[in-house]
Homo-oligomer: A and B are copies of this chain.
Amino acid sequence: MHLIPVGLGDAPVDRWLPPDVRALAARLDTYIAENAKTARAFLKAVGAIHPLQDITIHTLTDKTDAAQIQGWLRPLKQGGEIGLVSEAGCPAVADPGARVADIAHGMGLAVRPWVGPSSILLALMASGLDGQRFAFHGYAPVEPSERARQLRAWEQQSGRGNQTQMLIETPYRNAAMFASLVATLRGDTRLCVARSLTTADEWIRTRTIADWKTGPAPDLDKKPTLFLYLAR
């Protein structure tokens, strides 16, 4: 089973996919995808050699049961190949794909990860925050007091262990998340905002909370954004 990353936005494929990975993605005729529509857009971008209507795309959701996934993977026992793709970025990271890799290991199948874009990793590289120790938490709680409590708990952990904390938010709630972070964290904590990575709209800044407070808030509305912070 091949784990194949897809683009993060509308950037040209030569910016984010190595040639061998592109060639592999272009020749496979069976995929497991989080979203069939974005999978077809990816197949067009890489120049699939089979007509799109001849490519099988199994759609994976949180609800897909294990027996069905095993059925999709069974042909691999006889030397078949299948690609696993996410809606954006690296499959099995911050998406339901990890279950497919887990089931493949259980069936004794080879699992091959390929190089491509991950917004989590690109944000970490560019943040200037500690890259020796970091944690990705996914989403913070939505309820305001619970959210503040969790952001502070991660801040304490960060200060104790020198651990960069990373989180994401539903894009239409990014402005609210930025406001929560600035209102909740300590003045000398450094916060990185990494927006629209790999696209023409890419924007990455790291400042202390005190500095963020003095400037205008960045425009994050409906734009995929990573938030990273490190306490002193």
Contacts and interface: CB of A to CB of B under 8 A. Distances in A.
Interface in A111-169: 111-113, 115-118, 120-138, 163
Contact of A125 (B3, B12, B135, B198): B3
Contacts of A102: 128-129, 206
Chain A interface size band reads 35 or more
Contacts of A17: 18, 115
Interface stretch (A36-44, A74-82, A91-99, A174-182): A91-99
Given A133-B138, A163-B135, A207-B105, A125 B93 contact: yes
Contacts of A15: 18, 20-21, 115
A94 B131 CA distance: 5
B116 A101 contact: no
A218 interface: no
Contacts of A124: 92-93
A130 B18 contact: no
